[in-house]
């Protein structure tokens, strides 16, 4: 999947404002990419646009989302688009625990999903669903016979993951897949996501506000702030030697990653909202210790350095000096 210059806007009383702006990102076949960012940074909006599923008052204002074998998703509509969802892209919505139909059993919804995508072997589909649920520590037969209200939040979240994987899509997008889970269940689920990913040779995108989750599963890591991608690269390199001041701040704030709880420092200030995100210059400047004059007027462009990309005036200067 190649995302090129993607911009998504929401209509607000102050006009159309971008929640995602000028994003370029490539998901390499067979890799797990993690997207991390604070609440409101645009992660779910980006995820929805990969399925061309942004709802009004939102719309994709610019850019392309190319999927191998499918073309530009932004141009798809109607039946073509419906087929692409599920068959090509398996998707777990954020708050998957609330997205089930309360009136139907999970099994009935599974069969509906299969039929709507033309699955002929429905028994095989049920077998596959039970197997996936079993791997995630659930009694598959019982879960398929249950209604949403009979399942805990954590169980519903696992049902969401099962539904995303069961149609055998080769591209899987998981938006906050483990938010309602305790630490041990979370670790177990992430292990299964990794295993299924490897078994099936999937291309997977994991979206989370929890940098610990992406540290655990992702090969590549992309960091979002105020609708922009500020840094991306191999997970180990980005976490081990972050370059963007925001990534540095995020990592410093996490005791688990810093190693010593006394050394963890919260990032001062708050992330911007659609209304307060700067229209020109760097989106991070209000919270940045390295801010320079140019940061107020010129939006830093993503500059590649080997497998890593950073969008920051201070870093660009250093990269050029080394070159």
Ligand X SMILES: Nc1ncnc2c1ncn2[C@@H]1O[C@H](COP(=O)(O)OP(=O)(O)OP(=O)(O)O)[C@@H](O)[C@H]1O
Q: The tokens 């960012």 sit on which residue?
A: 37
Binding residues among 5-44 for Mg ion as defined by CB under 5 A: 43-44
Write out the DSSP string of 175-213. Answer: ESTTTTS-HHHHHHHHHHHHHHHHHHT-EEEEEES-HHH
Among 1, 3, 6, 19, binds ligand X (CB under 6 A): 19
Among 94, 109, 157, 179, binds Mg ion (CB under 5 A): 94
Return the number of the residue (44 or 203) whose C-beta is nearest Mg ion: 44
Return the number of the residue (210 or 237) whose C-beta is nearest ligand X: 210
Say whether residue 45 binds ligand X (CB under 6 A): yes
Residue 98, classed as helix, strand or coil, is helix
- What does the per-residue mask of binding to ligand SF4 show for 227-266, with x meaning CB under 6 A? ------------------x---------------------
Return the number of the residue (132 or 221) whose C-beta is nearest ligand SF4: 221
Could you tell me which stretch among 40-48, 181-189, 215-223, 298-306 binds ligand X (CB under 6 A)? 40-48
Question: Contact at 8 Å (CB) between 209 and 128?
Answer: no
d(Cα 143, Cα 150) in Å, to the nearest integer?
Answer: 9
Say whether residue 49 binds ligand X (CB under 6 A): no
Size of the site for ligand SF4 (CB under 6 A): 13
Instruction: Dig out the tokens for 199 from the structure.
Output: 């078994």
Say whether residue 273 binds ligand X (CB under 6 A): yes
DSSP H stretches of helix in 225-312: 235-240, 245-252, 255-258, 293-297
Instruction: Dig out the tokens for 150 from the structure.
Output: 């009979």
Among 22, 34, 37, 90, binds ligand X (CB under 6 A): 37
Say whether residue 279 binds ligand X (CB under 6 A): no
CB of 169 to Mg ion, least distance (A): 21
CA distances from 166 to 86, 124, 125, 154 (A): 9, 10, 7, 18
Question: Contact at 8 Å (CB) between 64 and 236?
Answer: no
Residues engaged in binding Mg ion (CB under 5 A): 43-44, 94
């Amino acid at each position: 999947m190649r995302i090129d210059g993607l911009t998504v806007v929401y209509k607000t009383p102050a006009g159309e404002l971008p929640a995602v702006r000028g994003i370029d990102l490539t998901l390499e076949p067979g890799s797990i990419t993690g997207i991390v960012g604070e609440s409101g940074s645009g992660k779910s909006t980006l995820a929805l646009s990969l399925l061309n599923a942004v709802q009004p008052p939102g719309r994709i204002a610019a850019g392309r989302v190319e999927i191998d074998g499918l073309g530009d998703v932004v141009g798809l509509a109607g039946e073509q688009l419906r087929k692409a969802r599920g068959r090509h892209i398996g998707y777990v919505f954020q708050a998957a625990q609330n997205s089930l139909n309360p009136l139907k059993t999970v099994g009935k919804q599974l069969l509906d999903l299969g039929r709507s995508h033309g699955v002929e072997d429905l028994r095989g589909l049920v077998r596959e669903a039970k197997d996936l649920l079993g791997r995630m520590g659930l009694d598959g037969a019982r879960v398929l016979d249950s209604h949403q209200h009979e399942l805990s939040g954590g169980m519903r979240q696992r049902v969401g993951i099962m539904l995303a994987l069961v149609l055998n899509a080769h591209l899987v997008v998981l938006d906050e897949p483990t938010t309602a889970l305790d630490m041990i269940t979370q670790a177990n689920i992430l292990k299964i996501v990794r295993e299924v990913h490897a078994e099936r040779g999937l291309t997977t995108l994991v979206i989370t506000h929890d940098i610990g989750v992406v540290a655990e599963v992702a090969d590549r890591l992309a960091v979002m702030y105020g609708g922009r991608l500020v840094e991306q690269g191999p997970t180990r390199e980005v976490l081990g030697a972050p370059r963007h001041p925001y990534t540095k701040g995020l990592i410093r704030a996490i005791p688990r990653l810093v190693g010593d709880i006394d050394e963890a420092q919260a990032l001062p200030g708050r992330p911007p909202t659609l209304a307060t995100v700067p229209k020109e210059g760097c989106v991070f400047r209000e919270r940045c210790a390295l801010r320079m004059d140019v940061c107020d007027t010129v939006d830093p462009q993503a500059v590649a350095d080997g497998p890593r990309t950073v969008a920051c005036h201070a870093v660009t200067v250093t990269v050029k000096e080394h070159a």
